């Protein structure tokens, strides 16, 4: 009887914890638009241990590898999106996931886009947070996610030779 009760309590505790163990709902989103203002993708940002998970989905993009970063300014003025500033870098590191002196908090792996023009990935913006404070993706002026025309080489400072900015989306808090 005691064993049955203990098992029932353990199962109830496990079931009660399932929503806590599930991935948190996205706390921020961005719609990526190309130079013509057409939506070509979305990014959802969710706080996780060690940073912010950035899940990106794109369509209508040239096949191949594309640099994908969080940029330091929440502006996406086309056609070149230079208004988004440099990579998000609150710790003043050098660029590149393979750089021993890096990486920027906005540096992420390349996004692979298939022959059909679609791609998706989940990346970690290490050290970034969606709350206030150091590493916040919501400083004065905001932040943006940017898709580049070419792959990031993961080491060249300041931007990885990823080429032109082909899509941009301002990171916005989810209501």
Catalytically active residues, by annotation: 69, 71, 87, 95, 104, 107, 148, 165
Asked if residues 52 and 128 have their Cβ atoms less than 8 Å apart, the reply is yes
**Residue 130 CB neighbour total at 10 angstroms:** 20
Asked if residues 98 and 75 have their Cβ atoms less than 8 Å apart, the reply is no
Which positions ≥6 away from 99 have C-beta within 8 Å?
154, 155, 157
Asked if residues 26 and 174 have their Cβ atoms less than 8 Å apart, the reply is yes
């Amino acid at each position: 009887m005691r064993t049955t009760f203990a098992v029932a309590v353990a199962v109830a505790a496990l079931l009660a914890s399932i929503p806590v163990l599930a991935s948190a709902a996205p706390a921020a989103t961005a719609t990526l638009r190309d130079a013509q203002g057409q939506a070509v993708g979305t990014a959802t940002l969710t706080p996780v241990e060690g940073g912010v998970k950035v899940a990106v989905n794109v369509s209508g993009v040239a096949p191949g590898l594309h640099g994908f970063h969080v940029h330091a300014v929440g502006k996406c003025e086309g056609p070149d999106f230079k208004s988004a500033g440099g990579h998000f870098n609150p710790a003043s590191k050098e660029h590149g996931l393979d750089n021993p002196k890096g990486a920027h908090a906005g540096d992420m792996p390349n996004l692979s886009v298939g022959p059909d023009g679609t791609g998706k990935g989940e990346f970690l913006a290490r050290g970034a947070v969606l709350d206030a404070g150091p590493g916040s993706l919501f400083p004065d002026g905001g932040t943006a996610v940017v898709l580049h025309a070419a792959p990031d080489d993961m080491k060249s400072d300041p931007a990885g030779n990823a080429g032109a900015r082909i899509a941009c989306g301002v990171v916005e808090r989810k209501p």
